[in-house]
């Protein structure tokens, strides 16, 4: 009698020899990876032309678990690595997958300049509101009054509104979901893969071990209930109005979807203009 083997459809995207993963029970990062693999299937992107780049952190582990051309880089430097990949081989689809600390604190400078230049990379930020891997210190996105290792009396620093930062700096596509919004998130990831330019997706995601526990917000399941009750879908909302607070509503949706010439197009246009030529094909510009 033949045995029925049920395969998890995302297994083919994972380096199963590295499983079990390091993520805690209730952590939202794995859910986002599930959404990403579904987006890869639905968008029919050519996996041989896809590279994924992560920095360091709990989220930074994603590149190591995905069976793609993966780059697990240094803390805060995923975007420059990704920019280099894209410029060296413009035919690649390059995705950056990292945490809020990696992308918006130590790597904040790279983030705004890649958006300003409209580098054609897709940036997925799992925002768990703290530096999780190193013990739950306050990050650049920790909401006001949240308790963290480095803010035992409540965080008093103003935090970044990442969708607004991305839009102001020049991003072509900006969306925010939570790890509760699995379908919307997968769709948004697929959409971003089809867009040209700097695309940014923020995912509000629980860190039960370090953020939820210290702030008496319960476990991973409680976080899902909180996201369900407190999220308001506002596609097209002004990013100026989507600040995150400790216990207020979370505004989610697609906020920006616009066309701007990307970095390579702008560079080619400028060089062609100077040389009096009509077009310099991408990939032929190797040194200037």
When the beta carbons of 82 and 172 are compared against ligand TPP, the nearer one is 82
Binding flag, residue 148, ligand TPP (CB under 6 A): no
DSSP state of 14: B
Residues in contact with ligand SF4 by CB under 6 A are: 23-24, 27, 29, 58, 128, 132, 207-210
Binding flag, residue 150, ligand TPP (CB under 6 A): no
Those residues with Cβ within 8 angstroms of residue 233's Cβ, 6 or more apart along the chain or in another chain: 184, 252, 253
Q: Which of 65, 71, 111, 131 binds ligand TPP (CB under 6 A)?
A: 131
Binding flag, residue 136, ligand TPP (CB under 6 A): no
Specify whether the CB–CB gap between 161 and 144 falls below 8 A. no
Binding flag, residue 139, ligand TPP (CB under 6 A): yes
- ∠ CA 232-233-234, rounded to 5°: 110
* Extended beta strands in 128-172, E state: 130-131, 137-138
Residue 139 binds which one of ligand TPP, ligand SF4, none, with CB within 5 to 8 A depending on kind? ligand TPP
Question: Which 64-83 positions form the footprint of ligand TPP (CB under 6 A)?
Answer: 75
Specify whether the CB–CB gap between 200 and 166 falls below 8 A. yes
Binding flag, residue 102, ligand TPP (CB under 6 A): yes
Sign of the four-CA dihedral 110, 156, 127, 196: negative
Phi, then psi, of 87 in degrees rounded to 5: -75, -35
Identify the CA nearest to 243 among candidates 142, 153, 152, 130.
142
In angstroms, what is the minimal distance from the CB of 71 to ligand TPP?
Answer: 15
How far apart are alpha carbons 256 and 259 in whole angstroms? 10
User: CA distances (Å), 132 to each of 123, 143, 160, 198, 206, in order?
Assistant: 19, 15, 17, 26, 10
Q: Which of 133, 185, 237, 244 binds ligand TPP (CB under 6 A)?
A: 133
In angstroms, what is the minimal distance from the CB of 96 to ligand SF4?
Answer: 18
Binding flag, residue 205, ligand TPP (CB under 6 A): no
In angstroms, what is the minimal distance from the CB of 61 to ligand SF4?
Answer: 8
Binding flag, residue 58, ligand TPP (CB under 6 A): yes
Residue 134 binds which one of ligand TPP, ligand SF4, none, with CB within 5 to 8 A depending on kind? ligand TPP
Q: H-helix or E-strand containing 184?
A: helix 182-194
Binding flag, residue 100, ligand TPP (CB under 6 A): yes
Residue 56 binds which one of ligand SF4, ligand TPP, none, with CB within 5 to 8 A depending on kind? ligand TPP
Binding flag, residue 101, ligand TPP (CB under 6 A): yes
Binding flag, residue 209, ligand TPP (CB under 6 A): no
In angstroms, what is the minimal distance from the CB of 106 to ligand TPP?
Answer: 6
Reduce the DSSP state of residue 130 to 3 states and report it. strand
Specify whether the CB–CB gap between 210 and 131 falls below 8 A. no
Residues near ligand TPP (CB under 6 A) are: 56-59, 75, 99-102, 126, 128, 131-134, 139
């Amino acid at each position: 009698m033949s045995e029925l083997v049920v395969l998890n459809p995302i297994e083919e995207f994972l380096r199963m020899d590295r499983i079990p993963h390091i993520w805690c029970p209730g952590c939202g990062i794995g859910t986002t990876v599930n959404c990403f693999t579904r987006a890869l299937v639905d968008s029919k992107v050519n996996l041989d032309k896809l590279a994924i780049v992560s920095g360091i952190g709990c989220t930074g582990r994603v590149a190591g678990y995905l069976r793609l051309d993966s780059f697990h880089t240094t803390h805060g430097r995923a975007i420059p690595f990704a920019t280099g990949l894209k410029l060296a081989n413009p035919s690649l689809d390059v995705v950056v997958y990292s945490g809020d600390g990696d992308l918006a604190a130590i790597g904040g400078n790279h983030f705004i300049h890649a958006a300003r230049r409209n580098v054609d990379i897709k940036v997925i930020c799992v925002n768990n509101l703290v530096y999780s891997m190193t013990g739950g210190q306050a990050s650049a996105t920790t909401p006001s009054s949240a308790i963290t290792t480095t803010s035992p009396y409540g965080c008093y620093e103003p935090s970044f509104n990442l969708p607004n930062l991305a839009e102001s700096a020049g991003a072509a596509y900006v969306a925010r979901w939570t790890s509760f919004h699995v379908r919307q998130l997968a769709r948004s990831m697929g959409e971003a893969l089809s867009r040209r330019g700097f695309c940014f997706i923020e995912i509000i995601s629980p860190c039960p071990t370090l953020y939820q526990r210290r702030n008496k917000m319960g476990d991973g399941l409680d976080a899902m209930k909180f996201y369900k009750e407190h999220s308001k879908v506002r596609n097209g909302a002004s990013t100026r109005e989507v600040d995150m607070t400790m216990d207020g509503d979370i505004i989610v949706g697609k906020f920006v979807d616009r066309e701007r010439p990307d970095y390579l197009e702008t560079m080619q246009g400028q060089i062609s203009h100077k040389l009096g030529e009509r077009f310099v094909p991408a990939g032929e510009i190797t040194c200037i």
